[in-house]
Structure 1
Amino acid sequence: MTDTDQAAPGRRDRKKAQTRAALTAAALRLVAERGLEHVTVEEISEAADVSSRTFFNYFTCKDEALTDDPALDGNPVVARLAATPAQVPTLQAVRLALDEAIDTIQADRELWRLRLAVITQNPALLPRLVSGNIATERAMVSVIATRLGVGPDHGLPPLITAVTSAAFHTAMLRWSTGDDTRPLRDFVDEAFSAVAAGLPDPPPPS
């Protein structure tokens, strides 16, 4: 096998990633401008300079193009959580497992700002976004139960999973709106620190 042959799969993968990203960006931009009901797959494809047939090689429908993102793949997060040493406290282990996803989302801040704005404006998209997390959350519950040495029916693993998921989503929403230009990592750390501290009341205004 030549060096050219070995490089070809890498180039194909990059081309596929670029096409997928172009379709997602086009879908989000058009829906932000016109509204969810006034954008078609054909228009998204044309804006991304591909055919509708190509669109369906990447997404099953328009809504999927708006909500799905490789950064939301929970498998790497679960794998990193499972690989974190047992002596690391569980809350900290979950936070560390999110590092790569945080960096990936941060690198596409403007896209994510647009995505979250579109979802806020079109609440019908929210169930699709949430449903994609169900399998990940179940896997996290299982990994956390193993870390804690408790059975699958124990209440703490699903509680930790739900609380950390809410902390992460809250941090993302704060990061994606307003004028605060701090990186996503700062917002996530702030949210996790508040959870670790027991969600204390803020100090009274001076």
Structure 2
Amino acid sequence: MTDPSPGLRERKKQAARLALAQAALRLALERGADQLRVEDIANEVGVSPRTFNNYFSSKEEAVCSFIVEQQQRVREALLARPAREPLWEAVINASVERQETEGAPRREDVWRLREMMHHAGLFGEMLRSHAKVELVLAEAIAERAGEGANPLHARMMAGIVQTASRIAFHTWLTSDSDRGYLTAFVELLREARAGMPALTAAAADATPAEAS
């Protein structure tokens, strides 16, 4: 029997990586980060710890890889948007499309998510993951903008989108309000697209404190 084609092999690798990532996040939410072991993740998928190490360098990387995987799907959605759609609208609509498809985290997982945010290893890995996805989105924005796009502008836009996502998620996570993560995320993106008029107006109206 011949070896699978390069394309098939790559798809199998991506499927294995995704399965490990999903298992890692699920187990972390069920048990807590401190109780999670590489062996648990590998057993959940039916592979050896050695196979796990072919895909991830640590359990923290596996748990946080959903951030990168999600942004890859945003990239695909952005590049599939209609060519005549303005760039900011395309970025917003692609981000919203993926969020609506995947949904926000369940409310019953909130306390575990809060715990994970205070786990030093996971928090550090989350920051690294966000840095990775900013580059992924920046490349997609530059490609979508076409020839002559300024890579610095693409990186800045990607940074704005990522910051809006983090702020909306953190606000949702630390609040008991029923206001949805997606609602806050979209509002922040639309404000950013408009140049943050509410923020600049508030700054203009603010009275500087008198020097003592």
Task: Describe the shift of the 1:115–1:92 C-alpha distance in structure 2 as closer, same or farther (beyond 3 A).
Answer: farther
Structure 1 runs of 4+ off > 6 angstroms? Answer: none
Q: Does 1:118 align with 2:115?
A: yes
> What aligned pairs does 1:53-68 form with structure 2 within 5 A after superposition?
54=47, 56=49, 60=56, 61-68=58-65
In the superposition, the TM-score normalised over structure 1's length comes to 0.66
> What aligned pairs does 1:132-171 form with structure 2 within 5 A after superposition?
132-149=129-146, 151=148, 154-171=151-168
Give the Cα–Cα distance (whole angstroms) in 2 for the partners of residues 67 and 187 of structure 1: 22
Give the Cα–Cα distance (whole angstroms) in 2 for the partners of residues 23 and 116 of structure 1: 13
Q: Does 1:82 align with 2:79?
A: yes
Task: Describe the shift of the 1:155–1:67 C-alpha distance in structure 2 as closer, same or farther (beyond 3 A).
Answer: closer
Cα deviation, 1:146-197, whole Å, max 9, x if unaligned, reads 3334546542111111111111111111122211112322111111122123
Give the Cα–Cα distance (whole angstroms) in 1 for the partners of residues 81 and 139 of structure 2: 14
Counting aligned pairs with the same residue, the percent is 22
Q: What is the aligned length?
A: 181
Mapped contact 1:167–1:188 kept (Cα < 8 A): yes
The answer to which of 189-198 and 60-69 deviates more is 60-69
Runs of 5+ unmatched residues, structure 1: 1-12
| Paired amino acid for 1:26 | L
| Paired amino acid for 2:161 | T
Mapped contact 2:24–2:63 kept (Cα < 8 A): no
| Paired amino acid for 1:95 | I
Task: Describe the shift of the 1:121–1:143 C-alpha distance in structure 2 as closer, same or farther (beyond 3 A).
Answer: closer
Mapped contact 1:71–1:101 kept (Cα < 8 A): no
Quote how far apart the aligned CAs of 1:131 are. 2.7
Give the Cα–Cα distance (whole angstroms) in 1 for the partners of residues 115 and 139 of structure 2: 33
| Paired amino acid for 1:131 | R
1:66 aligned counterpart, secondary structure: helix
Runs of 5+ unmatched residues, structure 2: 1-14, 206-212
| Paired amino acid for 1:77 | V
Cα deviation, 1:57-81, whole Å, max 9, x if unaligned, reads 5674332343233784322211111
Give the Cα–Cα distance (whole angstroms) in 2 for the partners of residues 155 and 65 of structure 1: 30
Mapped contact 2:71–2:137 kept (Cα < 8 A): no
